[in-house]
Amino acid sequence: MIRSIITGTGHYLPNQIIKRDHFLKKVFYDKRGLKIEKSNEEIINKFQKITEIEERRYVNERLLNSDIAAFAAKKALINSKIYKEKIDYIISAHNYGDIHPISYQSDFMPSIAAKVKNKLKIKNQKCKPYDMIFGCTGWIEGMILAHQLLRSKHAKNILITSSETLSQVIDPHDRNAMIFSDGAGAAVLSAIEYLENEKYGILHYDTQCNNNEELYYLTNGPSLNPNYKKSLVNIRMNGRRIYEYALTEVPNMLKNILDHANLHIKNISKILIHQANAKMDYAILKRLLKLYNYASLNKNFMSQIMPMTIQKFGNSSVATVPTLLDLILKEKMPPHKIKPGDTILMASLGAGMNINGMIYRFPKKNKL
C-alpha cells in the first residue's frame, strides 16, 4: 500500500526582528480614510492583547519571495536525503509572487515554483513546477494535491514550498499591518510502500471553499491613507468577519475529518493550526473541544496540544504551519515534541474563504 510520507522539512526565518517600537511613529487611519485619534501606544497595546504578537520577521529588501522559498526548500531536501533530480513536482504555495522592490508590483511570471526549481539548479525536465494560490491555506492544499499525485502513481517525490514576503504588501497606515510577517517553509512528500495495516502518512483530509460574500473578507486595495501612493497592492482584511467565519466553520470541518478517519480528538498528539491570530486560534480549539463534550480546559492544556509561534514570528501566511512543524521536528520548540507513531492534525484558514485540514501519522520506523 502506497503511503504519502513526509521525508524532509525545512524553514527560513528572516533575521530582521520587528518589535512594537517599529509602529510607534506610524500614522494610522480608519476605513473612512480618517486619522485615528487614539495614541499609537494604546493602539499597539490593544492589538497585542488580542493577537499576542510581540514580534514579527521582515526580509531584507534585497530578498525575493522565491529566494526564501528556495532557502527552505534546500533545507527540506537535505533533511530528506533525496537527490534533488529525483523530485517529480514542485508545488509552491504563496499569494503575491515576487514583489518588485521599486514598483511594489506582484510578479508571477515565471511562476515561483519555476524560480525555485531554477534556484535549486534542478535540471530534470520531468520535474514540473506548479504554483498554489489558495490564501493562507496554500501549503496544506499543496500537501493534499501532492498526496493525490503520489497515490495515483504520477510521482514518487514532491517538494512543497510555502513562502510570503507580506512586509512588502502591507499598508503602513493600517493597524492590521502589525499582524503580518515574512517567512518560508517546505516539505518533501514521498510515496513509500507499507503493509495494508500500517496506516501512516496522510490519513485523511478535507477542504472547504466559501467563495460568495466571503470572497471579500481578505482582499487587496489602496491605502487607508488617501495620500499614500507607494503601492496600490495592499492587504485589506475584515478581521471581524474572518473571526466569525472561522469559529463557525473550522471546528466542524476538523471534527468531520477526524470522524471520517475514525479518530477522536484524544488520539491527536498535536494540533498545528495556521498562526493567524492567537485569540482566534484559541477560540477555534475551544469550540473543537466542546464538540467532544470537553468542559472548560485551562490555557495550560491548550498550549500543550496546540503549540504557537505567532507571538514571536507573526502571521507569515502559507509559511506558518510548515515552519511550526519543522521547528518541532527539529526539537527547536521545547517542550514540544513529535514522536514516531504520533498523530497530528494540521489546519488552516485563508483568503477565499478557504479552509482545510489534514491528519498525519508519523511512521514508527524509517523505511528510507
pLDDT confidence of residue 224: 93
pLDDT confidence of residue 105: 84
Lowest-pLDDT choice from 187-191, 228-232, 248-252, 297-301: 297-301
Lowest-pLDDT choice from 63-72, 131-140, 223-232, 323-332: 223-232
- Lookup result for grid cell 515574512: 182
pLDDT digits (tens, 9 = 90+) for 104-137: 888 889 999 999 999 999 999 999 999 999 999 9
23: alpha, beta or left? (left if phi > 0; alpha if psi -120 to 50): alpha
Q: For the chain, give the longest Cα–Cα distance.
A: 65
Q: Cβ atoms within 10 A of the Cβ of 35, count?
A: 11
The Cα–Cα gap between 195 and 237 comes to 47
pLDDT at 154 over 70: yes
The Cα–Cα gap between 364 and 354 comes to 33
The Cα–Cα gap between 137 and 238 comes to 17
Grid coordinates representing 260 are: 471520517
Q: Cβ atoms within 10 A of the Cβ of 209, count?
A: 15
Range 2-193 classified under CATH 3.30.365.10: no
As beta bridge partners, residue 184 has 12, 163
Backbone angles phi, psi at 131, to 5 degrees: -100, 140
The Cα–Cα gap between 140 and 51 comes to 23
Q: How many helices (H) and strands (E) does the chain have?
A: 9, 15
Q: Cβ atoms within 10 A of the Cβ of 285, count?
A: 23
Cβ 341 vs Cβ 350: under 8 Å: no
pLDDT confidence of residue 196: 86
**Residue 101 per-residue DSSP state:** T
Q: Domain residue spans in the chain?
A: 2-193, 201-361
Cβ 201 vs Cβ 363: under 8 Å: yes
Backbone angles phi, psi at 315, to 5 degrees: -105, 105
Cβ 356 vs Cβ 137: under 8 Å: yes
Are 2-193 and 201-361 equal in CATH topology?
yes
pLDDT digits (tens, 9 = 90+) for 47-95: 999 999 999 999 998 899 999 999 999 999 999 999 999 999 999 999 9
Instruction: Flag whether the pTM goes above 0.85.
Output: yes
Cβ 28 vs Cβ 36: under 8 Å: yes
**Nearest residue to 120 via CA among 186, 165, 168, 62:** 186
Give every strand in the sheet of 2-12, ordered side by side.
2-12, 182-193, 157-165, 89-93, 128-132
The Cα–Cα gap between 288 and 293 comes to 9
As beta bridge partners, residue 9 has 187
pLDDT confidence of residue 295: 62
* 313: enclosing H helix or E strand: helix 310-313
Cβ 342 vs Cβ 317: under 8 Å: no
What kind of fold does domain 201-361 have according to CATH? Peroxisomal Thiolase; Chain A, domain 1 (3.40.47)
Grid coordinates representing 11 are: 524553514
Grid coordinates representing 330 are: 527539529
The Cα–Cα gap between 255 and 289 comes to 9
Distances (CA, A) of 337 to 10, 88, 180, 292, 304: 16, 30, 27, 24, 10
pLDDT at 298 over 80: no
Backbone angles phi, psi at 251, to 5 degrees: -60, -45
Cβ 268 vs Cβ 358: under 8 Å: no
pLDDT digits (tens, 9 = 90+) for 255-264: 999 999 999 9
The Cα–Cα gap between 355 and 209 comes to 6
Looking at the chain, the whole-number percentage of residues with pLDDT higher than 90 is: 85
Instruction: Check residues 195 and 6 and name the one with the higher pLDDT.
Output: 6
pLDDT confidence of residue 305: 93
Q: What's the average model confidence in pLDDT over 5-9? A: 98
